[in-house]
Structure 1
Amino acid sequence: MDPNDSSQRDQSGQPSTSGMHHEYATQDGSLDMGCSDFELLKRALLNERMAPEILQYKEELVERVKAGLKRQETEIDAMEGQRDYELVRQVLSYEQDRVRFLLKAYLRARLEKIEQSAGSMLDTEALRERLSKQERSYASSFFVAMGRYMKSSVLNDLPPNYQSLVKRYEGEAEKRLLDTPDEAKYVFARVLDDCGQVPDGPDGQTAELRRGDTMAIKYTTVKALVEAGQVCLL
C-alpha cells in the first residue's frame, strides 16, 4: 500500500482500514449478503464450538481471511517509519491480531473434535468429507499414534479377542468403541432468517423459527438450518 495513493484512502483522506471487512455474498445471493468475513468467521467459530458434531470446513472463508491478512501485512509494512500513519498502522495491527485470534480459535476448535473422535471420522465417509485435506491427514496420524500408545500401554496385555481399538471384542458386528456425537442434545440458537415451521419431534411436532428468535432447541431440529446459514448456534 502506498500511503500517498489517493485510491487507497477513505473519505476522510486517511488510508483505508477496512482489513477483513469486505462485503461477501453466497453464490445464491442469500443470507450472508453484506456480512464481513470477520463476522462470518465469528459465526463459524460459534457454530463449531457449540455443535455436537464436526461441521463442514469453511475452506473458501478461511482462504479469503488468510489472503486478507497477507494484504493487510503488506499495508502495515508500507507504513513502517512514516510518522503520519503511525496511528493507522497500529489500528491495522490490532485488527490483524483480532482476526488471527479468531482464525486460530476456529482451527483449534476443529482439531479438538478431531482428537476426540478421530476413529469415527475416519470410519465415516460423510464425516471425512467435512474435513480439509490437512485435517484428514492429522486425524489419520493422530489415530495411528493413539493406537500405538494404547496397544503398548494396555491392549497388548489383554486377551487377543479384546485388543481391538474399535470393537469391544473380536467378532462384534458394530464398532461400538468409536465415539459418535449426540445430535439429540439441546443447543442455544439464534434464528438469522425466517424458517417457518420445521419438524421438531418423531410424532409430527413442529417449531416455528422466526428471524431474531433465540431459543434452546434440539440440534437435530436446526442441523440443516445451521449448515444453510439460517441459524447460528450460541
Structure 2
Amino acid sequence: MEKLFCSHPNKGYHKEETVEEFLRNGVDPLTVSLYQMDLDWTLFLLRSYLRTRLRKIENYAFHIQKNADLWNRISKQEEKFAERCIHDMEQHLDQSILSKLPHGFKSHLKQSSLSLADDMELKEFLESQINVMP
C-alpha cells in the first residue's frame, strides 16, 4: 500500500494518508492519479539509483575494499554486499583461472589492480599513443 506524506497547512503537523483514503474521502480522482503517478515515478528513480549503486559496488568491489575512504562511504549493508561479491569473485577466479596459473600469479589482488583502478594520466596515455613532434 503506497503512502503519501502530506503537511496540513494550518496545523503544522504531518498527516499520513494512503491513496485509498484519498479516494474514500472524495478527493478528485485526477488528483489521486497524479499523486499515484508521482509515487510510482519516485519509487522508479529510487530503485534505479539503488540498482546503479549496487552495480558499481559489484564492479569495483576490489578497488573499494582497498581504498579506506571509499570503504567508509558505503553503508553496512553495502559492505556485506561488497564482501559477498569479493568472496564470490575470489571463488570464481580460483576455480576457473588461478588454480591453473603458476604460484606467483595466484593472487586475485594482483589481477584486480591491473584494470579496476584508474592509474593513468591523460598526458602519459596520449604520449604513449601519439608520436610527439619536437
TM above 0.5, yes or no, is yes
Tell me the residue number matched to 1:108: 51
State the 4+ residue runs in structure 1 displaced beyond 6 angstroms.
182-185
For 1:177, which of 114, 117, 122 is the aligned residue? 114
Cα offset for 1:181? 4.0
Q: 1 or 2, which has the higher helix percentage?
A: 2
TM-score normalised by length of structure 1: 0.42
Give the gaps of 5 or more residues in structure 2.
1-6, 10-15, 123-134
For 1:124, which of 32, 46, 67 is the aligned residue? 67
Residues 1:144 and 2:87 aligned together: yes
**CA gap 1:183/1:157 in 2 versus in 1, 3 angstroms:** closer
Q: CA RMSD in A?
A: 2.7
Cα offset for 1:93? 0.5
Greater relative contact order (CA < 8 Å, ≥ 6 in sequence):
1
Cα offset for 1:160? 1.9
CA contact (8 A) 1:117 1:178 kept: no
Pair member with larger Rg? 2
**CA gap 1:183/1:100 in 2 versus in 1, 3 angstroms:** farther
SS in 2 for 1:177: coil
TM-score normalised by length of structure 2: 0.69
CA contact (8 A) 1:115 1:139 kept: yes
Give the number of equivalent residue pairs: 111
**Distance between the aligned counterparts of 2:119 and 2:51, measured in 1?**
21
Matches within 5 A, 1:10-159: 71=16, 74-82=17-25, 84-159=27-102
In structure 2, give the amino acid aligned to 1:157. Answer: K
Cα offset for 1:84? 4.2
